[in-house]
Structure 1
Amino acid sequence: MLFRHPDILPVRDLEPGFGDLVPICRELPTNSGSCDNLYLTAEGDIVLAECKLWRNPESRREVLSQVIDYARDLASWSYEDLERAARNGLGSRVFADSRLVDVISDDLDEETAARRIGAISRNLRLGRMLLLVVGDGINEQVERLGEMLQAHAGLHYGLGLVEVRLFQDGDGGVLAVPNIVARTVNIERGIVTLADGALRVDEPASSASAAGGRGYGKTLSLEKVIEHISDNTRIHRADLSAFLDRARDIGVVPDPGKGALDLRYDLPTGTRIKVGAIQTNGNVTLADNHKLIEGHDIRDLDEVYVKEVASLVDGEVLDRKSGRTVQRDGHLLDIGEYIEHGEEWIEAIKRHVRSVEERLNANSGDR
């Protein structure tokens, strides 16, 4: 059922930047056994889904280790290895006269096909894939997820437990109701230090802070968007990640999508305001909150903020259909030029957020 109807799986709730799933095969052969379902997206994202009936105690004990073993096997593969294995899976959509890349997207020109193959190859090499354990009634202890992940910290995967309740109607139809029981953010690689002739492996500080309740972790979607931005601009991904870390310190949440990274701030009431967006081509749009925020119009505050940021980067505001951005000498500025003034930009965001909160508080008092 999940192979024929992959839209049942709540993948976008786990990874907002993933596109539609394309089923490739069932029973994908690996050195650790056969993985139940292999899916790809048109962008080359990899999803493995292992299905279990949870009345089986052995399944509950072993399924997490099992799906992680599959991911470890795939991380040693090339694109050609994956294509070859997919041909040998049940119900495979990859045949002797077709390529794997042609299955995930129709009518690709050779340049686009090469980029897709490169994306799949990179995801395999990094072990970057979404692993799903799907059952009809999951009761696994969530804390075991962290133990499993720490034991395989060299891979960059995300892991989700998905419960799919099945109900049968009087006509023989089946209603499938998915629910995410648990999810993880992907674990960063440990830090290896050589000191006094001894090796020491430390957990990255960001892992501890993410688990500590800041509400943030490097999902696969965020990692992928950062990578695309870095590939398309002159900014190094470490510099972009450092800026996003600094922005998170003041409450700005990076919200990845398929084509952009939105920068949003959570107000104490739970409402989010948008302070900017970084497109995957490196272009930046700034606050453009057209809708009322908690019943109040803040467009004038947005305008003040945008002008302030434009002055920081020595540019002028340009209104476009996609939103407000900044240009200099007729050229749009990319994210690298903003991050050169990153701390000043952070301070401008803080002032903008304060002005919005003061406006909302004052108006609430008036009412």
Structure 2
Amino acid sequence: MDQIEPGLQDVISVCMELKLPCGSLDNLFMTPDGDIIIVEVKLWRNPEMRRTVIAQALDYATDLFGMDYESLEKAVLKSDFNGQKPPTQLYDMFGDAEVLAEHDFVDAVNRNLKKGQIVVLVVGDGTNTNLENLVDGLQSHAGFHFTFALIELEVFRGEQANDEFLIIPRTLAKTYLIERAIIQIDDQRSQVSAAPTTSGAVAASARISITSQQFFDDMQARHPELPNKLKAFMDKLETLGIYIEFKKSLNIKWNPPSGKPINFGYVNRNGQLWTDAATWFVLEKGQKYLDQLAKAFDGEVIINDNGNRYVAINGKAPRVETIMDKFDDWYEVIKAYQETFYDDD
């Protein structure tokens, strides 16, 4: 999942053979944050699969889009639990995991179903060129809403009959969000009509994932101008060779001429900006960077109980909306910091 949606962590298997209006979904997975992953397993060598597998997987996704938490829970509790007694409720399946409060979990699942923010995985024992091209065409024409990925399982076995199997997964298709669209697939061709975009939509400079979309939704809730300002800041940083890595947080990273990647700061989904990682591999330079950044933010550098330094405002790591008007100053601090690596040459 790290290669597909790195922000979706602690994935658990919910059930098999989930009964949906269009058929039985092979596998349903979820996360403690209410994220949804569906998996359909096929044999690529089956000629019929070449024509129907993507349409079938998208049919399952469409059925889920029409559900809410209550209807999904009812379907899950009627599914196959490999002979085990089903749980009393869906929420109980996460056990001791660090799960959201129940009402927040229900809200998150409902939101993902309503927006179509799910991951659709088609897994097989080999690849088919035409099938992979079909997905590429589908992704390039549809808009963004759910993530689709093709995964090949390469199967190896030793020479002896009782040798164990070695199974290596490989992601075949690049993954990004696909907006709900009208998709027609037949023997001769595939046709995709993307849903129309709304005039109020925020234009992103790059394809987005479910992970990043959820992040920007949270930023929108913090301040209506914050997503646009963050994206403009990201575009500007890209001119310096800096890249954004979405996991549970937005990470601002750079690969210096030598050594390990540097993290200039990471923004959690609650909006809090942490800069303690900036000194991990370059202590002296990192400390100077934090001093300059604290000055730009009218803040201070604090040392926590673990001895890590970070920029704070009024004694706490700042919320990103409180410093969004200082992104240009942050850019200049980062640029000056990068130059110190070349001054040493």
Q: Same fold (TM over 0.5)?
A: yes
Alignment correspondent of 2:164: 173
Residues 168 and 44 (structure 1 numbering): CA distance in 2 closer, same or farther, change over 3 Å?
same
For 2:246 and 2:97, the matched residues in 1 are separated by 27
CA RMSD for the aligned pairs? 3.2
Which of 261, 275, 278 pairs up with 1:272? Answer: 261
User: Does residue 141 of structure 2 align to residue 156 of structure 1?
Assistant: no
- CA apart distance, 1:114: 1.1
Number of aligned pairs? Answer: 326
Residues 58 and 269 (structure 1 numbering): CA distance in 2 closer, same or farther, change over 3 Å?
farther
Which of 244, 250, 254 pairs up with 1:254? Answer: 244
CA deviations on 1:237-259 (whole Å, 9 max, x unpaired) are 4443443344334332221223x
For 1:286 and 1:333, the matched residues in 2 are separated by 10
For 2:102 and 2:222, the matched residues in 1 are separated by 18
Alignment correspondent of 1:124: 113
Question: Is 1:130–1:157's contact at 8 Å kept on the other side of the alignment?
Answer: yes
For 2:343 and 2:61, the matched residues in 1 are separated by 49
Residues 108 and 250 (structure 1 numbering): CA distance in 2 closer, same or farther, change over 3 Å?
closer
What percentage of aligned pairs have identical amino acids? 28
Alignment correspondent of 1:353: 338
Listed as ranges, the gaps of 5+ residues in structure 1 are 1-10, 195-201, 211-216, 293-297, 363-367
Question: Is 1:87–1:95's contact at 8 Å kept on the other side of the alignment?
Answer: no
Alignment correspondent of 1:329: 314
- CA apart distance, 1:290: 4.6
Question: Is 1:285–1:324's contact at 8 Å kept on the other side of the alignment?
Answer: no
SS at match of 1:274: strand
Alignment correspondent of 1:112: 101
Alignment correspondent of 1:304: 288
SS at match of 1:191: coil
Residues 328 and 165 (structure 1 numbering): CA distance in 2 closer, same or farther, change over 3 Å?
closer
Which of 25, 35, 46 pairs up with 2:15? Answer: 25
Listed as ranges, the gaps of 5+ residues in structure 2 are 180-194
For 2:36 and 2:97, the matched residues in 1 are separated by 21
Question: Is 1:23–1:38's contact at 8 Å kept on the other side of the alignment?
Answer: yes
- CA apart distance, 1:82: 0.9
For 2:112 and 2:82, the matched residues in 1 are separated by 21
- CA apart distance, 1:52: 0.7
Alignment correspondent of 1:191: 197
Residue identity in the other structure for 2:197: I
Alignment correspondent of 1:285: 274
Residues 17 and 33 (structure 1 numbering): CA distance in 2 closer, same or farther, change over 3 Å?
same
- CA apart distance, 1:270: 9.2
Residues 107 and 351 (structure 1 numbering): CA distance in 2 closer, same or farther, change over 3 Å?
closer
Normalized against structure 1, the TM-score is what? 0.77
For 2:84 and 2:296, the matched residues in 1 are separated by 53
Alignment correspondent of 1:14: 4
Question: Is 2:271–2:320's contact at 8 Å kept on the other side of the alignment?
Answer: yes
